[in-house]
Structures are given as C-alpha cells and as structure tokens.
C-alpha cells in the first residue's frame, strides 16, 4: 500500500461520457479516459484492506459479492499508483483472460463490496482494470503466447461467448488442440451480438482478442450448428468421435416470452433478435438497414436490466419517434436499505446510458415501474398496447406475485415492441441429443468447480450451467471447466 492516506486525500473520479445527444449520432464507445495522474490517484485510494472483500467472488443473498474471477485488485491498484503499468497488467492477466471485456461491461460487484464503500464512494476498480488492459494493448504487451508443447488431445468448445472463449484460451495454454464451434456468422457470442457496439466495440475490442487467440493456435469455426437438425449441421456423435472432450458453453438463449393477446402481431420481437440485427448492420458499415429497425417508430421496451437499456439506446440511435420502457418491478431505492447491507450487491436505482440518452432526447426518464402489458393491438402489425399497473402481494402460498390494479389501464402507441424480460435457460436440443441430465430449470447438471456432466467426455460452463448471469461469472466458469477438462485428459493440471 504505497499511499496509506490516499483514500482520505482523493475522491472517487471516473471518466466523463460524451454528451448524450452527441453520442446518439454514432455507434462508437462513449466513455472518455482519465489521464495518468488521475488514474494513479484512483489507485492510491485502495487501502489494501486486511480483509479485502473486493476479490472474494462469493454469492451473498443470491448476488455476486466481490470479483468472481478473483482479480488481485489491491495489488494492481497499488501498481497503478506506483506507475508500474506492465506489472499491473501481469497481475490482471493471472486471473482474467479478458479484462478488456469486463472493464467495459461488468457491473463491478468488486466495487459493491469495496471496504471503502462502507462510508465513502468505493475505489474506481472497474475503470482501473479497463485502463490497465488498454495500456497493455497499446504498448504491445498483449502478444500471442502459443503453448510450448502440444499434448495431442483435441477438445471441442461449443459456443464462443465469454465462457467458451475463456475455456478455449485456457485449454489451448495447456497444449490441447482447441476448436471453437459457433453457430453465428462471427465469433463472440453474447459479446458480439448481445451487447451493442457503443458499450463494447466489436472490431477494436472483441475481434482484436479473437485474432490474438487464433495466433495462439485456437481454431474458430463459424456458421456451425451442432445437432440443429439441418443437413449442413454437425452431429453431436461426430463431435464426440473426433474429439477427446467437449466443453458446452451454449448460453441461456431461450428468451422469456409474453403470451398475451396479440403476441403474434408483426413488430413484436425478442430484444436479442433486435440487438443482433442492429450489430450486423453496424458491422456492415450500415450499408443496409437492420432487419428489425426502430427508425421513425414508437418503441416500447418491456423489461429492465442491461438488455432493456441496450434496446433503449439502440432505438434512439436508429432514429425512433419515441421510446418507453416498462418494468414490472418497483423502482429501486436511491440508497442502500437496512436489509441490503455491505458487502451485498447494492440494490439501488441505476440510471444507465440508455435512460440518460432518452431523457436528453425526450425530456424525461423513459421508465414506468410496476407496470405490465395486457395485450397488443393491431391488424397485421402492432400499433398499440394496453398496459396496466400492478401491485406485488403475497398469494396463499406466501409467494409475492403481481396483481393488476383495476382502473389503471392505459393504451400506448407501439409500432415496435421489444421483449427484454430475461432468459429461461439453454435450448434443449443439444443437451437432449447428448442425453445430459438437466435441473428443474433446464440448466445442464454439472457441479460448480467440477463442470463434468453425466457424460464422461462432456463438460458444461457458463449460463447453460448456472442460468443467465454476468460476463465475469461466465469467464470464471470457462476457466474452471478448462481446468477440470485438462485434469480429466491428463490426470493432473497446472491450470489455475
């Protein structure tokens, strides 16, 4: 701890963003950067606590407390303060394969569990992480590191989201021949098509890492559906016959639907389809309009969370006539409540970039809380929807359920409706063909930190095993699955 009084002398400072109305003109990342002096001051705020919760990565009350990949946070903060950037990157690289991803899109449970955050603003850990990573890329410290020897073992990784990429990177480091199969036209999974470009740049960030992994020896095969039923698909038995092990990182890609009257009208889409088509258009240089466009339309986003926010920000950039966001949950409090103490994740109101942009464009926050949709109205295409307020009450079993409040119905214009209500679990086709055991929620059964399924050659990691979760948890699981896969193949492992 190079600056014992740093947390007393310096206040928390994070980069400013480009003004909302300015950034709506493009698809570029919108965060500015702090200069080196300010970054070193932020590193000095870290107290190197005797009991640092920031890197514990535990679940408390069902939510992450601390960093799930166990980043050595006090160490890299101190190294930033000292100006030892290369050493800081070496510390970060020990635990996190992709700090350039988590430094941008992670909600930072590390900051929610920062000891300084008990009575002061927490250390700006997430921005320090991103700054270390970008410094490393800019200085040329991130270079391909192919393994010194090959084991002769072949491993197939199905899915190229954060769990799949982490598993592939670690298995390749162990010397195995790794092939990543991705059914989309580009690798990256959620990172490529589930998160819009203004939050995570595809060419300069995601594909930069993919290219580095290819140079290390990882093979990516896109447009490769495993067991999808089409003539061009790869059968699971073929994959088993040609590989020594398979790691399934297929995500939780079944979106939650809203089965109300009018659901089948044109113009009602799942959020992930909307975001995917938009990213494809952006990557094409916007030569063609996205297949699902908000341009000139009155948009209703149903659901909160990051995906709902991304739909709001994307709709505004596409030139929507208006955008509203409907959430069935109540508005979160503006400060921690007694039942949500440190080091739990702080369940407080968050105004993200999409709501900030909507307020700048439309004059008000677009969110309506404690509201759900009763039906969609239209002939062939949706034109309106009927929303109603709800109240959460206990049923006869003691469970909280939303009850409609009579007399609160409202009819809203809606030319485009985006369902951003989360995901139910993995698609069942591939687990079914492999005869894998699943739990009551449809997730593939494989114990955490073991990751082996009931099939001796098949491992599972990420959202398909734990359910919809954070990018940083996916990286945690991909690394752990790689470790246990390597142990099964070789009898022992040196992977962390």
The pTM for the full model equals: 0.96
Q: What is the mean pLDDT of the chain?
A: 95
Residues 128 and 95 in one domain: yes
Residues 294 and 350 in one domain: yes
Question: In this predicted structure, what is the pLDDT of residue 1?
Answer: 67
3-state secondary structure of 140: coil
The CA–CA distances, whole Å, from 418 to 193, 266, 277 equal: 16, 11, 13
d(CA 419, CA 308): 8
Residue 146 counted as domain residue: no
d(CA 294, CA 306): 18
Angle ∠(208,210,213) on CA atoms, nearest 5: 115
At 225-257, the pLDDT tens digits run: 998 777 668 999 999 999 999 999 999 999 999
Residue 149 counted as domain residue: no
At 413-462, the pLDDT tens digits run: 999 999 999 999 999 999 999 999 999 999 999 999 999 999 999 999 99
Residues 115 and 211 in one domain: no
pLDDT at 62 over 90: no
Residues 342 and 416 in one domain: yes
Q: Which residues contact 203 (CB under 8 A, 6 or more apart)?
A: 283
CB-based contact 236:433 (threshold 8 Å): yes
CB-based burial label for 151 (10 Å; 0-12, 13-18, 19+): middle
At 362-395, the pLDDT tens digits run: 999 999 999 999 999 999 999 999 999 999 999 9
User: End of a domain among 373, 391, 421?
Assistant: 421
Other Cβ atoms less than 10 A from the Cβ of 59: the count is 13
Residues 278 and 342 in one domain: yes
Residue 168 counted as domain residue: yes
Residue 148 counted as domain residue: no
CATH of the domain at 220: 3.50.50.60
Question: In this predicted structure, what is the pLDDT of residue 228?
Answer: 78
Question: In this predicted structure, what is the pLDDT of residue 54?
Answer: 94
- Into how many domains does the chain fold? 3
Q: Are strands 382-394 and 371-378 parallel, antiparallel or unpaired?
A: antiparallel
d(CA 417, CA 143): 44
User: End of a domain among 110, 139, 168?
Assistant: 139
Residue 392 counted as domain residue: yes
Residue 446 counted as domain residue: yes
Residue 1 counted as domain residue: no
User: End of a domain among 139, 163, 191?
Assistant: 139
CATH of the domain at 100: 1.10.1060.10
Residues 373 and 433 in one domain: no
At 152-164, the pLDDT tens digits run: 999 999 999 999 9
Residues 335 and 301 in one domain: yes
At 24-43, the pLDDT tens digits run: 999 999 999 999 999 999 99
Comparing CA positions, the residue from 135, 72, 74, 69 lying closest to residue 102 is 69
Residues 248 and 267 in one domain: no
Residues 231 and 294 in one domain: no
Residues 237 and 261 in one domain: no
Residues 175 and 301 in one domain: no
At 81-97, the pLDDT tens digits run: 999 999 999 999 999 99
340 — pLDDT class (breaks 50, 70, 90): very high
Residue 495 counted as domain residue: no
CB-based contact 327:368 (threshold 8 Å): yes
What residue numbers bound the domain in which 100 lies? 6-139
Residues 210 and 301 in one domain: no
């Amino acid at each position: 701890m190079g600056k014992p009084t740093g947390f007393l002398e310096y206040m928390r400072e994070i980069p400013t963003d480009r003004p909302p109305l300015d950034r709506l003109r493009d698809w570029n990342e919108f965060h500015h950067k702090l200069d080196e002096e300010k970054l070193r001051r932020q590193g000095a705020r870290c107290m190197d606590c005797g009991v640092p919760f920031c890197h514990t990565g535990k679940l408390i009350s069902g939510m992450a407390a601390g960093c799930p990949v166990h980043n050595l946070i006090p160490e890299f903060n101190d190294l930033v303060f000292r100006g030892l950037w290369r050493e800081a990157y070496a510390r970060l690289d020990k635990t996190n394969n992709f700090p350039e991803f988590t430094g941008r899109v992670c909600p930072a449970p590390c900051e929610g569990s920062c000891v300084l955050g008990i009575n002061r603003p927490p250390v700006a850990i997430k921005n320090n992480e991103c700054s270390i990573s970008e410094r490393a890329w800019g200085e040329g410290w991130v270079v391909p590191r192919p393994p010194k020897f090959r084991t002769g073992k072949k491993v197939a990784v199905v899915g190229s989201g954060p769990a799949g990429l982490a598993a592939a990177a670690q298995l390749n480091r162990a010397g195995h021949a790794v092939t990543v199969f991705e059914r989309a036209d580009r690798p990256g999974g959620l990172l490529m098509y589930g998160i819009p470009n203004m939050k995570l740049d595809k060419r300069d960030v995601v594909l930069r890492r993919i290219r580095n992994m290819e140079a290390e020896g990882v093979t990516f095969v896109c447009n490769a559906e495993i067991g999808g039923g089409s003539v061009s698909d790869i059968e699971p038995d073929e994959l088993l016959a040609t590989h020594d092990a398979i790691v399934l990182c297929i995500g939780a890609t079944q979106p939650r639907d809203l089965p109300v009257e009018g659901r089948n009208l044109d113009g009602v889409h799942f959020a992930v389809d909307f975001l995917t088509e938009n990213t494809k258009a952006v990557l094409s240089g916007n030569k063609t309009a996205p297949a699902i466009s908000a341009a000139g339309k009155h948009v209703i986003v149903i659901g909160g969370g990051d995906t709902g926010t991304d739909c709001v920000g994307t709709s505004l950039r596409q030139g929507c006539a208006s955008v509203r966001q409907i959430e069935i949950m109540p508005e979160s409090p503006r400060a921690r409540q007694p039942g949500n103490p440190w080091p739990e994740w702080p369940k407080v109101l968050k105004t993200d970039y999409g709501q900030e942009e909507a307020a700048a464009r439309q004059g008000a926050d677009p969110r309506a809380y404690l509201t759900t949709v009763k039906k969609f109205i239209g002939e062939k295409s949706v034109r309106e929807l009927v929303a109603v307020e709800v109240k959460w009450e206990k049923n006869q079993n003691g469970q909280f359920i939303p009850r409609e409040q009579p007399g609160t119905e409202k009819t809203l214009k809606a030319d485009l409706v985006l369902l951003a209500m989360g995901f139910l679990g993995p698609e069942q086709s591939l687990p079914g063909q492999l005869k894998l055991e699943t739990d009551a929620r449809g997730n593939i059964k494989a114990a955490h930190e073991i990751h082996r399924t009931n099939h001796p050659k098949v491992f599972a990691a990420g959202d398909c095993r734990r359910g919809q979760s954070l990018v940083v948890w996916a990286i945690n699981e991909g690394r752990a699955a790689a470790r246990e896969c390597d142990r099964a193949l070789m009898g022992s492992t040196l992977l962390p």
